[in-house]
Amino acid sequence: MRGTGADLGACLRGRDLTAAPATLNLVESRTPAARAEVAALLREVSPAALGGEAPAHVVGVTGPPGAGKSTLLGELVRTWRADGRTVAALAVDPSSRRSGGALLADRARIPYDPDDAGVFIRSTAAGGRLGGLAPATRSAAQALAAAFDIVVVETVGVGQSETEIAEVADTVAVVVQPGSGDVLQFLKSGIMEIPDVLVVTKADLGQVAVSARRDLHAALRSLGARDTAVVAVSSLAPPQGIDGLLDAIDAHREASDVGARRLRARRLHALADFTAEHGARGLRALGGRRAAERWLEEQDAGLDVPALERALVEHAGVA
């Protein structure tokens, strides 16, 4: 029956992109029955079922409000499509609230061609959490990575929020708008982890963008991260720097250990689901977050997310 988790997973494994909307509906529903279906879905798209890691490049795009993330994503989507790559874009919306299943506000605003069957775009409410991921986004990204060539996730935030997106993405691009010093300060003070790629938007503004890029370069050099790409782009017509950004994103993935990153993503996904279900009490039963992460690192690398979550429940004794 089409619509069950196992069936959707099988469709995605066959790279059937039309399964994307139903997949998002499933991972966003919070009923106990849906939880079991999501577990079945995740098993169907696990490395064991796929015979390896999911083929997509999972790209995170994050940065302060208004930095130009969605406009940039519109350009990235267009360029990926022109290159023949299929794209799923998941925007995590910190402001919208769900009401009867309908989004009241939608800050995704990613421009795209609605007649193009190779693009899927969905905005998910963060459920009152500022920055970071919506709970459904980890499952959505993992499932859609089996079917699409690119899965791109947009989150809003600065400072620590990029650590959560680094848990789901193979490559994280942090977007900075010229003239705003936050990211520079957070980088220098070590509050923020070094991103895989730094993007200065609104390059059409001229000198201020050039200075922003130079300052970020200097900060990265002083942190010993001289290999981190800093790319300046303009998303307004005529777009500039988009191809260079795509090259930097592709180069990062080429140079990185995707298998190790995905393994960590699955473990932290299981921990996030466990915490959503069992709360602070559950985490305490695991000896705290750090201890839980260390324990997960010792588990069999072949376990999928539902199996890891079951193992956590058993380990905590909270079932």
Ligand X SMILES: Nc1nc2c(ncn2[C@@H]2O[C@H](COP(=O)(O)OP(=O)(O)OP(=O)(O)O)[C@@H](O)[C@H]2O)c(=O)[nH]1
- Which is nearer to ligand X, 23 or 234 (by Cβ)? 234
Decide if residue 96 touches Mg ion (CB under 5 A).
no
Strands 197-200 and 229-232: parallel
Query: Which of 5-13, 163-171, 231-239, 297-305 is the region at the interface with ligand X (rule: CB under 6 A)?
Result: 231-239
- Which is nearer to Mg ion, 69 or 266 (by Cβ)? 69
**DSSP 8-state symbol, 171:** E
- Which is nearer to ligand X, 178 or 282 (by Cβ)? 178
d(CA 293, CA 60): 22
SS (H, E, C) 215-244: HHHHHHHHCCCCCCEEEECECCCCCECHHH
The binder of ligand X chosen from 230, 234, 269, 271 (CB under 6 A): 234
Q: Among 52, 54, 53, 48, which residue's Cα sits nearest to residue 12?
A: 54
- Which is nearer to ligand X, 9 or 64 (by Cβ)? 64
- Which is nearer to ligand X, 75 or 167 (by Cβ)? 75
Query: How far, rounded to the nearest angstrom, does the alpha carbon of residue 116 sit from its chain's CA centroid?
Result: 22
Strands 102-103 and 98-99: antiparallel
- Which is nearer to Mg ion, 75 or 273 (by Cβ)? 75
d(CA 212, CA 181): 9
The binder of ligand X chosen from 50, 103, 208, 236 (CB under 6 A): 236
- Residue 142, binding choice from Mg ion, ligand X, none, Cβ under 5 to 8 Å by partner class: none
- Residue 288, binding choice from Mg ion, ligand X, none, Cβ under 5 to 8 Å by partner class: none
Window 84 to 113, contacts with ligand X (CB under 6 A): 107, 109
Sequence-distant (6+) residues with CB within 8 A of 251 are 229
Contacts with Mg ion: how many residues (CB under 5 A)? 2
- Which is nearer to ligand X, 72 or 292 (by Cβ)? 72
Q: Which tokens is 307 given?
A: 């199996």
Sequence-distant (6+) residues with CB within 8 A of 203 are 178, 209, 232, 233, 234, 240, 241
Decide if residue 204 touches ligand X (CB under 6 A).
yes
Contacts with ligand X: how many residues (CB under 6 A)? 17
- Let me know if 169 is exposed, middle or buried by CB neighbors in 10 A (0-12, 13-18, 19+): buried
d(CA 139, CA 129): 17
Window 141-160: contact mask with ligand X (x via CB under 6 A):
---------------x----
Count of C-beta atoms within a 10 Å radius of residue 38: 25
Q: Which tokens is 20 given?
A: 């994307």
**Shortest Cβ 124–Mg ion spacing (Å):** 13
Window 168 to 197, contacts with ligand X (CB under 6 A): none
- Which is nearer to ligand X, 57 or 69 (by Cβ)? 69
Nearest 5 degrees, angle CA 29-CA 31-CA 37? Answer: 75
Count of C-beta atoms within a 10 Å radius of residue 247: 12
- Residue 235, binding choice from Mg ion, ligand X, none, Cβ under 5 to 8 Å by partner class: ligand X
Window 70 to 89, contacts with Mg ion (CB under 5 A): 70
The binder of ligand X chosen from 3, 21, 55, 65 (CB under 6 A): 65
Instruction: Name the site residues for Mg ion (rule: CB under 5 A).
Output: 69-70
Instruction: Name the site residues for ligand X (rule: CB under 6 A).
Output: 65-71, 107, 109, 156, 201-202, 204-205, 234-236
